[in-house]
């Protein structure tokens, strides 16, 4: 038996243990009973950028790839509820400005997009042994990387797209434990591959998109130019990777944050310690009331019921339902769901079952 801790589950645990306890598949596993489709602009833009950075089309003329990226964006936006036209239009304009800006600063070659990973979690006290839950089950950590690229110095980087109405503080990116953990997990999933760090690709949703933006200089012979291969295993000297580099304008900003071996080791230990807590039989469950958390929490009604002595079970029975098992996904365009570190896809995946006659 395997218990899987996802990156989103871990974030929920850090944010509020009560909400995590109510919604996690590892715990009570509730979800809202309505089928509302959230207006997630970030998801729509990331779907478009997964096409824009699709490795198999990287050498194509960008004028050919552009409409395909917008088509991917519109497929996601088409599922939004009525009244989201303004948000959909904003996303299209933001995406249009991005694909004008990106070619001059994309000094890398994409290797993978939207690729899942799943790795065993080592015991924080003894990394040679894998961690086990209180019931004896193996503990795995699972997540998805948005983009894997290789630069001209044969260094691999994970990249993530962040849509927000403010710039992230530099220390916020340096302290991003999720990014460091993803680097560690990817290296463990693809043994022999070293990840130099994380590229944070920020897109401002509150910027003036009608304003003329400074044009980034086209890479020349003295600049770092795109590497011409997509090999999965090349070697780079970590010492040549700068710690932090940044470029951009008022709408888009890209920050390269390298991750040292010390940081990856600490990320491993922190993940193991949290996984041990999350699966502990005597874990203490308590809320973390703060309006920036509670205002967007889908479990606010039962939490208030618990705080005020109302029947929380009745609230859950009325407005929530058991969360169904997460269906297996074959991954998005340009990605793979099964890494070479975990074996190939099951031979019957994606095929209709056959019956004996």
Instruction: Give me the DSSP letters along 232-279.
Output: S-----GGGS-SEEEEE-SSEEEEEEE--HHHHHHHHHHHHHHHHHHT
Please give the pLDDT value at position 125: 86
Please give the pLDDT value at position 219: 45
- Report CA dihedral (306, 307, 309, 313) to the nearest 10 degrees: -10
Query: In this model, does residue 237 exceed pLDDT 70?
Result: no
**Full-model pTM:** 0.84
| Alpha-carbon gap, residue 354 to 205, rounded angstroms | 49
Alpha carbon 135 to chain centroid, angstroms = 29
For the segment 169-192, the average pLDDT, to the nearest whole number, is 95
Please give the pLDDT value at position 235: 56
- 127 pLDDT band, cuts 50/70/90, is confident
- 57 pLDDT band, cuts 50/70/90, is very high
| Alpha-carbon gap, residue 173 to 178, rounded angstroms | 10
Report the percent of the chain where pLDDT is more than 70. 83
- 337 pLDDT band, cuts 50/70/90, is very low
Tell me which residue of 161, 170, 235 sits closest to 205, measured CA to CA. 161
Please state the φ and ψ torsions of residue 168, each to the nearest 5 degrees.
-70, 135
8 A C-beta contact, residue 242 and residue 290:
no
The DSSP result for 120-178, as a single string, is EPEETTEEEEE-B-TTS-EEEEEEEEEEEEE-TTS-EEEEEEEEESSPPPHHHHHT-HH
Q: Where are the domains of the chain?
A: 38-104
For the segment 36-43, the average pLDDT, to the nearest whole number, is 91
Lowest mean pLDDT among 43-52, 85-94, 131-140, 193-202: 131-140
Lowest mean pLDDT among 48-57, 133-142, 213-222: 213-222
The sign of the CA dihedral 158, 144, 142, 337 is negative
Query: In this model, does residue 244 exceed pLDDT 70?
Result: yes
| Alpha-carbon gap, residue 313 to 308, rounded angstroms | 13
For the segment 214-243, the average pLDDT, to the nearest whole number, is 52
Please give the pLDDT value at position 241: 59
Query: In this model, does residue 343 exceed pLDDT 50?
Result: no
| Alpha-carbon gap, residue 289 to 147, rounded angstroms | 34
| Alpha-carbon gap, residue 3 to 130, rounded angstroms | 13
- CB neighbour class for 104 (10 Å; exposed up to 12, middle 13-18, buried from 19): middle
Residue with tokens 């098992």: 325
Please give the pLDDT value at position 243: 79
- Report CA dihedral (163, 169, 174, 178) to the nearest 10 degrees: -40
Please give the pLDDT value at position 210: 83
Residue with tokens 């690229």: 149
- 330 pLDDT band, cuts 50/70/90, is low
Please give the pLDDT value at position 295: 95
For the segment 224-238, the average pLDDT, to the nearest whole number, is 53
Please give the pLDDT value at position 221: 35
| Alpha-carbon gap, residue 69 to 78, rounded angstroms | 14
Report the percent of the chain where pLDDT is more than 90. 73
For the segment 274-302, the average pLDDT, to the nearest whole number, is 94
């Amino acid at each position: 038996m395997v218990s899987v801790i996802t990156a989103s589950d871990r974030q929920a645990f850090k944010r509020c243990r009560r909400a995590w306890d109510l919604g996690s598949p590892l715990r009570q596993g509730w979800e809202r009973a309505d089928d509302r489709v959230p207006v997630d602009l970030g998801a729509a833009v990331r779907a478009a950028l997964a096409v824009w950075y699709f490795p198999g089309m990287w050498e194509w003329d960008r004028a050919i790839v552009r409409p395909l990226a917008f088509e991917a964006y519109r497929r996601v936006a088409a599922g939004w509820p009525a009244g989201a036209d303004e948000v959909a239009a904003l996303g299209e304009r933001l995406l249009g400005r991005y694909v004008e800006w990106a070619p001059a600063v994309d000094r890398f070659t994409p290797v993978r997009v939207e690729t899942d990973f799943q790795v065993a979690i080592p015991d924080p006290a003894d990394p040679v042994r894998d961690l086990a839950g209180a019931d004896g089950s193996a503990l795995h950590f699972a997540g998805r990387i948005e983009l894997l690229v290789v630069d001209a110095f044969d260094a691999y980087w994970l990249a993530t797209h962040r849509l927000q109405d403010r710039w992230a503080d530099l220390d916020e990116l340096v302290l991003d434990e999720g990014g460091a953990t993803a680097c560690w997990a990817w290296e463990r999933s693809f043994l022999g591959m070293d990840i130099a760090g994380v590229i944070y690709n920020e897109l401002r949703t509150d910027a003036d998109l009608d304003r003329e933006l400074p044009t980034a200089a086209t890479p020349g012979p003295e600049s770092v130019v795109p590497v011409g291969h997509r090999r999965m295993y090349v070697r780079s000297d970590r010492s040549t990777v700068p710690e932090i580099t940044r470029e951009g304008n008022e709408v888009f900003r890209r920050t390269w944050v390298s991750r040292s071996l010390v940081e990856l080791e600490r990320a491993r230990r922190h993940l193991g310690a949290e996984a041990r807590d999350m699966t502990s039989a005597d874990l203490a469950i308590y809320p973390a009331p703060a309006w920036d958390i509670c205002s967007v929490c889908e479990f606010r009604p039962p939490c208030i019921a618990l705080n005020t002595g109302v029947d929380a079970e009745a609230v859950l029975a009325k407005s929530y339902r058991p969360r169904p098992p997460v269906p297996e996904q074959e991954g998005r365009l340009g990605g793979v769901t099964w890494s070479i570190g975990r074996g190939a896809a099951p031979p019957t995946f994606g095929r209709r079952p056959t019956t004996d006659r």
